[in-house]
Amino acid sequence: MGESVAADLRLPVEDAIRLGQELTEAWACWSPTMTRDASRVAYISDRSGVPELWVQDLDTRPTPATRVPLTQDPVLAVEWSADGAWLACSVATDGGVRTQVWVVRPDGSDARLLAGGRDVHAELGPWTRSGHRVVVMVPSTHPAEPTVAYLADPATGELGRLAVGELIHVLDLSIEERLAVMRDGPRGHEFCTVVDRLDDVDHRLLPPDHTGSTDVAFVRHAPKGDPHPAFAYLVTDAGRARRELVAAPLAPEGDHAPPYTLAARSDAELEDLDADDEGALLLLLWNVAGRSELELLRTETNERIAVPGLPGAVASKPVLSRDGSCVVVTVDGPERPAGLWRLDVATLTWTAVTETPPLPDAPLVRPSLETFHGADGLELTGWLYRAPGSEERGPAALWLHGGPEDQERPDFSPQHQALAAAGITVFAPNIRGSSGFGREFVHADDVEKRFDAFADVLAARAHLIALGVADAGRIAVTGRSYGGYLTLAALAFDPGAFAAGVDVCGMSDLRTFYRDTEPWIASAAFPKYGHPEHDAALLEELSPLREAARITVPLLVVHGEHDTNVPIGEAHQLVGALERLGRPVEYLELPGEGHDYRRLFSRRRLLENTVRFLADALLT
């Protein structure tokens, strides 16, 4: 009976692919930024098939949006200057990993390239609080050379040197530009300093023995009644179990008070933070096992106000208006692509800012949060997209996210929905190394602990079997970036566990990855993967390419032409080795794409090839 029900609910493969492609065509909107008076919003949208810059009036109802022409390359992020005169944008050079920084007037005039190109990577930083200049950061394209940060004049393109450091990112400048807040250090070990540009002294915001990462930090006026003139607010897990909101009082002549925790939760991590101009109101975005919650905090009284009714499961890039009257945030969920929503702070009511694109008239799967355990007893979680009607064991696929510090969340995934519609259950676990579950968890796969992450992949497979939803002989392993690397590792180091694999832009050899990736990416990765010289033997042992002969099941390898994060050679050398061995391997190269596939045509091809490949491997 279970098999007949499953057969009735499962779509034919071609219909499932068509559903997935229609979902892929459902454009999204993200990365909002507002004018000072909160009357207009700029954001990124791929409604034309490629991410572009859009602006519209910020009303209590959806209003027409206007595209701001800039460049043929995908636009990744935008920031509106405080004076409203300019938009600064991050642009993917040729669609690849290296980016450029552009400025343009909101009406589309005076577009200017400030920094970056095919041979130079430039990152967009914050505007000065006056809006007259914007920070541009240029990492070195040569190993062992530092990053240089500049203050750029949007009207003339002139660059004035601001700071130099190994892996620095300028996070904020005080209103008079005297204080600069900067982050430095490799992945998972970032630290923040505030630099007094007038006295040429710097102050570390947290004690040096507090290890961990600091993701967000900025300076605002101190709360009313506090004797210090300014506060730095940080999102950090340095010296803490989870990411928290930390306040660091600042004072002239270095007479700073010790930092202290202002807001923390035992069940959640602080993911993002914003503030009004005066520092009177803070906006907190919490990550609760993958789902999002918003909160407001009044700094004068420390009153915390929970924001009800978030119109979706996952929120990102929240922006609080400069006067504290409203919030604009990106929201999505498993049944709806990302769009912008506005929160009225006074009434705590939500209004849609952007339109919802047409969606196919078909039921979509709402994933359930599953809890399971690694071989050593560590608690792990994952999102299960159960194929409709799958009351008996059937085909299934693990999907492993990248990073490894990324996190699988209940957001919009055309691929997961298409596979489930075709009758293939998808389980997307957050194995050790994922973010969102505390500092120890995110570092539980560092360097020699990588083998424990491999074991977690097998634990996720075992959980599918224990749930009774997966046939042990028909489980595939799939993933992108670091998840693609895990896919190759599972196939090479544990042959027989999986019936097929899909590797999307994964590393096949950690030694060649270090040799060929961008220098600033390599330098930041040492604490996570190991050092290419000091840990050379370990990196060889952890590299799937050395055991390519043990990969005997069908494998699909996908890579972008312009990927310089995980360089395309990682795919070529693995595919070549498997072809020489006569193994069943397919290769899909996506022209004009880098590490992320931003063009609609590419995403359609990826979905079609993945669903058809897994259907052939698991359903026949």
**How do residues 18-41 score in pLDDT, each as one tens digit?**
999 999 999 999 999 999 999 999
Helix (H, G, I), strand (E, B) or coil at 437: coil
CB 173 within 8 A of CB 179: yes
**Quick one: tokens of 570?**
């990682």
Determine the average pLDDT of the residues in 581-591: 97
Q: What does DSSP say about strands 201-204 and 214-221: parallel, antiparallel, or unpaired?
A: unpaired
Whether 2 shows a pLDDT value over 60: the answer reads no
Residue 4 has pLDDT above 80, yes or no: no
Q: What band does 135 get if pLDDT is binned at 50, 70 and 90?
A: very high
Distance from C-alpha of 290 to C-alpha of 436, rounded to nearest angstrom = 7
Enter the tokens of residue 229: 């003139």
Residue-level pLDDT at 200: 82
pLDDT digits (tens, 9 = 90+) for 149-184: 999 999 999 999 999 988 899 999 988 888 899 998
Q: Sorting pLDDT into bands at 50, 70 and 90, what band is 3?
A: very low
202 pLDDT above the threshold of 80: yes
Tell me the domains of the chain and their CATH numbers: 2-23+364-618 (3.40.50.1820), 35-166 (2.120.10.30)
Task: Answer yes or no: are the C-beta atoms of 118 and 163 closer than 8 Å.
Answer: no
Task: Tell me the residue type at 68.
Answer: V
Nearest to 525 by CA among 405, 410, 379, 422: 405
- pLDDT surpassing 70 at residue 7: no
Taking only the tens place, the pLDDT of each residue in 414-449 is 999 999 999 999 999 999 999 999 999 999 999 999
Give the model's confidence band at 257: pLDDT under 50 very low, under 70 low, under 90 confident, else very high: confident
Q: Is the pLDDT of residue 390 over 70?
A: no
User: Do residues 77 and 124 touch, judged by C-beta distance below 8 A?
Assistant: yes
Q: Is residue 254 scored above 80 in pLDDT?
A: no
Q: Over the stretch 55-88, which tens digit does the pLDDT of each residue have? A: 999 976 667 899 999 999 999 999 999 999 999 9
CA distance 589 to 382: 29
Is it the case that residue 248 has pLDDT exceeding 60?
A: yes
Task: List all residues 6 or more positions away from 441 whose beta carbon is below 8 Å from its beta carbon.
Answer: 378, 432, 433, 434
Mean per-residue pLDDT, 79-104: 95
Least confident of 207-216, 267-276, 580-589: 207-216
Residue 537 makes CB contacts below 8 A (sequence gap 6+) with none
The pLDDT, as a whole number, for residue 196 is: 87
pTM of the complete model = 0.94
- Of residues 122, 137, 31, the one with CA closest to residue 79: 31
Query: With pLDDT > 90 as the criterion, what percentage of the chain qualifies?
Result: 84
The predicted structure's pLDDT at residue 61 = 66
> Chain-wide mean pLDDT for the chain?
93
CA distance 196 to 7: 68
Average pLDDT over residues 99-122: 95
Neighbours of 303 (CB within 10 A): 9
d(CA 64, CA 322): 24
CB atoms under 10 Å from CB of 155, counted, come to: 13
> What is the DSSP pairing of strand 52-57 with strand 66-68?
antiparallel
Mean pLDDT, range 298-306, rounded to an integer: 96
Which pLDDT does position 90 carry in this prediction?
Answer: 97
Q: Residue 405 CA to chain centroid, in angstroms?
A: 9
d(CA 372, CA 127): 45
pLDDT at 251: 85
Mean pLDDT of 583-600: 96
pLDDT of residue 1: 31
Instruction: State pLDDT tens for residues 504-548.
Output: 999 999 999 999 999 989 988 999 999 999 999 999 999 999 999
To the nearest whole percent, how much of the chain has pLDDT over 70? 98
CA pair distance 406, 400, nearest whole angstrom? 10
pLDDT-based confidence at residue 389 (cuts at 50, 70, 90): confident
pLDDT score for 60: 62
Q: What is the pLDDT of residue 137?
A: 96
